[in-house]
Structure formats: C-alpha cells, structure tokens
C-alpha cells in the first residue's frame, strides 16, 4: 500500500475476536453479545471476564474472579505516597498514567513473553482491580482528604463509590454506574486501544502498555471529550440558546463536542442507552430534568436537524459527562479517569490477544522532506 490515509481511517491493522461494530445499524457487541443485553443482564465483573476469556463465565468462575478483584484491590503504600507527592491540581489522567506505569516496578515478573503465566495473569487482574482504587484515591487526595481503604465485601461499582464518598450508595446509583462501566469497557481498535497494542507489540509489560492507553485516552479528541461536553453545555447556558450557539460553531467550522463518531452512521448505541438510563432514573426517583440535561436534549435535537444528513449523531461522550456530574456527583476533572477504569478491561484483553500472536507494529511512511544532499554544500 502506497496511498497515505490520514489517521489510518478504515485501514485494518489487526485481527481481533474481542468486539465488533456495525456502524450502519448502530450495534456494538462484546464477544458476540450486544451491549444492550450485557447492560440488562450482566455486571461489570462478568463483562470484564468475558472480554478477557472469550466466553461468559460459570457461576463459580465469576465468584472466583470477583473474590480475586477484592483481594487485589489494595494499592501499594509507596504508590499511595507517590500520589500524595503530586500537585493537587494535577489532572486525574496524568496521575493515573503515572501510577499505572509505576506498578511495573512492583511486579517485574509480569512479562509479555509468557502471557498465560500466573504472574502475568495476576498482573492483568491487578490492573483492573487497582484502577478503581487509584481513581477513587485521587478524587480524595486531590481535595486534601485521606483515601478510604477499599472494601473486601463490596462489588466493583459499589466499592468505587464507597471509596470516593465514604458511604454506601443507593442501589439505583450502583446499577447505573455498573451499566456505565459495561458501556465503556471496550470499543474495538480505538486510539487508546491501538496505543496499548502498539506498546504491547514490543513485548512491553502490561503496566507500560496500559499506561500508554491511559495517556492516549486523555486527549480531547478521545476520552477527554466528555469534559468538553459539560463545558459546552454550561457555555450554552439554556435550551433557548442552543440553536444560535450551534449555528455559530458550524459557521466557524468548530467542533460540537460529543457529536459524531468515525465508526457510526447513526446514533452511538452507548449514547442511546445512557440517555435512556438517565431519563429512567430521573422519572423513577421523582426528579426533574436539570437545566444542563434539558440543554443537552435541545442540542441533540438541533444537531439532528442540521447534521444527521451527514451521519453525525451523539456519541457516548455526549451523555456520560451528564451522568457523572448530575447523578454521580463527580466533578469534570475525574470523568475521563472513570472512563479509563472501565476501559481497563478492554485494554487488558487486547494486550493479551496481541502478545499471544505477536508481531511488532512497524508501519511505513511517505517521505515529504528534502532530497539527498551533501552536508558541505
């Protein structure tokens, strides 16, 4: 291939059995199971094990996996001290990337040369388990509070909320978070997953590879877009301002945050599920729509009118920030790290798939520089 395709758009870079997308119909599936079914019937722990192993676990396998996550959810003391040494205004994704990368120093035997060894398998589970602890720790440390030790009895979603807020959460909140984690757990070869795979292809350890994924997810054109959606909605201010604001952005060829996805020609199925979950929670709890959520609905309506003919619809970031802020009570600087916490399951699965049948990534380029020339001329 000699044609240059910016961003490798549409260029197959690997083979994978982990997830699939039908962009025309708006279908996302993990190992063949639609995310609609997984959100309705599964849990984040079961989904993570499905992504890692390829099949839904038996009841005993799932119980063992849940217990292992609980056993391994504590963070090393020196990593905790590392977090305390960082500036409190540091972005949660920079902190998370630093912490994940540092874990390699504690688990040097977790190597890509033996991906199925007990050391490596334990490291992969440790990454998923510690992600929630690290994200929760920084939500507190960044505010000057001591971290709350993880529970050894709570499930993944419930434990995360407990570590963040120090109290048991409403079961409806836990169900919402668990569903959100499932929706964000995997999404084929996106930028952060590809970054993880490229790093893994050099046979780097899983911590270095996942840290690369975290760094990539932090970008505003990827996971960090959910923060920008909230900033956008607050800037618009009210539903009545939406049309004028959007038309002005489009006239100036500026991004409408949370709108459009390279893979989907219809509404992102994850956005559809998130919108439905938020509306259901509000209705079931006798709440009223917030100004921010009403503004979002109007933004979607206007964008459907102006952009749907171009195949531009809401993506998962459009509603995730509202969920994190309006219902979970997180501030926007922690949104993307929660995304990373969920996506760790997909990254781990892709890391293992890559190193199990590995060839290092080494694409070529089209050179556009100077011709050969002599130094003395």
| CB-based contact 315:268 (threshold 8 Å) | yes
DSSP letter for 253, please. T
Task: Provide the CB-side half-sphere exposure for 373 (13 A, CA).
Answer: 6
In angstroms, the Cα distances linking 207 to 109, 136, 269, 343 are: 11, 19, 30, 14
- Interatomic CA distance for residues 226 and 230, integer angstroms: 7
- Integer Cα distance of 273 and 8 in angstroms: 29
Name which of 158, 137, 139 is nearest 147 in CA terms: 137
HSE (CB half, 13 Å, CA atoms) of 289?
14
Rounded (10°) angle between helices 92-102 and 335-356: 40
Whether 271 contacts 315, CB under 8 Å: yes
Handedness of CA 228, 207, 56, 74 (dihedral sign): negative
- Choose among 314, 351, 361: nearest CA to 214: 351
Q: What angle do CA 90, 91, 95 make, to 5 degrees?
A: 80
Q: Which of 178, 184, 268, 317 is flagged as catalytic? A: 317
From the list 113, 76, 82, 112, the residue with the least C-alpha distance to 97 is: 82
* Residue 205, Ramachandran bin (φ over 0: left; ψ between -120 and 50: alpha; else beta): beta
Give the chain's end-to-end CA distance (angstroms, integer): 35
Instruction: Check 184, 261, 350, 352 and give the catalytic one.
Output: 261
Known catalytic residue at 261: yes
CA separation (Å) from 202 to 7, 111, 351, 358? Answer: 21, 11, 11, 9
b/e burial code for range 71-89 (CB count within 10 A of at least 16 → b):
ebbebeeebbeebeeeeee
Residue among 366, 358, 16, 19 nearest 182 (CA): 19
Residues serving a catalytic function are: 261, 317
């Amino acid at each position: 291939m000699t044609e240059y395709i910016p961003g490798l758009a549409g260029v197959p870079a690997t083979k994978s059995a982990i997830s699939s997308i039908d962009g025309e119909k708006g279908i996302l599936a993990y190992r063949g199971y639609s995310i609609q079914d997984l959100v309705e019937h599964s849990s984040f722990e079961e989904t993570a094990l499905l992504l890692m192993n390829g099949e839904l676990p038996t009841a005993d396998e799932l119980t063992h996996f849940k217990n292992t996550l609980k056993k391994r959810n504590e963070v090393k003391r020196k990593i905790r001290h590392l977090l305390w040494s960082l500036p409190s205004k540091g972005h949660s994704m920079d902190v998370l990337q630093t912490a994940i990368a540092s874990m390699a120093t504690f688990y040097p035997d977790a190597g890509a040369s033996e991906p199925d060894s007990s050391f490596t398998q334990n490291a992969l589970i440790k990454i998923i388990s510690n992600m929630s602890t690290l994200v929760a720790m920084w939500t507190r440390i960044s505010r000057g509070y001591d971290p709350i030790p993880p529970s050894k009895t709570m499930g993944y979603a419930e434990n995360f909320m407990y570590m963040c807020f120090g109290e048991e959460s409403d079961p409806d909140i836990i169900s919402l978070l668990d569903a959100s984690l499932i929706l964000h757990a995997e999404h084929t070869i996106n930028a952060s997953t590809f970054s993880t795979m490229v790093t893994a292809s050099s046979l780097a350890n899983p911590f270095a590879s996942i840290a690369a994924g975290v760094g990539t997810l932090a970008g505003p054109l990827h996971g960090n877009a959910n923060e920008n959606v909230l900033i956008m909605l607050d800037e618009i201010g009210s539903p009545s301002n939406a049309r004028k604001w959007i038309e002005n952005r489009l006239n100036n060829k500026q991004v409408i945050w949370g709108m459009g996805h390279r893979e989907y020609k219809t509404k992102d199925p994850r956005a559809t599920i998130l919108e439905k979950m938020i509306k259901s929670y509000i209705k079931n709890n006798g709440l009223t729509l917030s100004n921010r959520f009403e503004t979002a609905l109007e933004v979607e309506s206007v964008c459907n009118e102006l952009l749907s003919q171009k195949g531009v619809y809401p993506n998962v970031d459009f509603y995730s920030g509202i969920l994190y802020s309006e219902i979970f009570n997180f501030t926007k600087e922690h949104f993307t790290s929660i995304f990373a916490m969920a996506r760790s399951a997909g990254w781990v699965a892709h890391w293992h798939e890559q190193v199990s049948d590995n060839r290092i990534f080494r694409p070529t380029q089209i050179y556009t520089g100077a011709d050969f020339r002599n130094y003395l001329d």
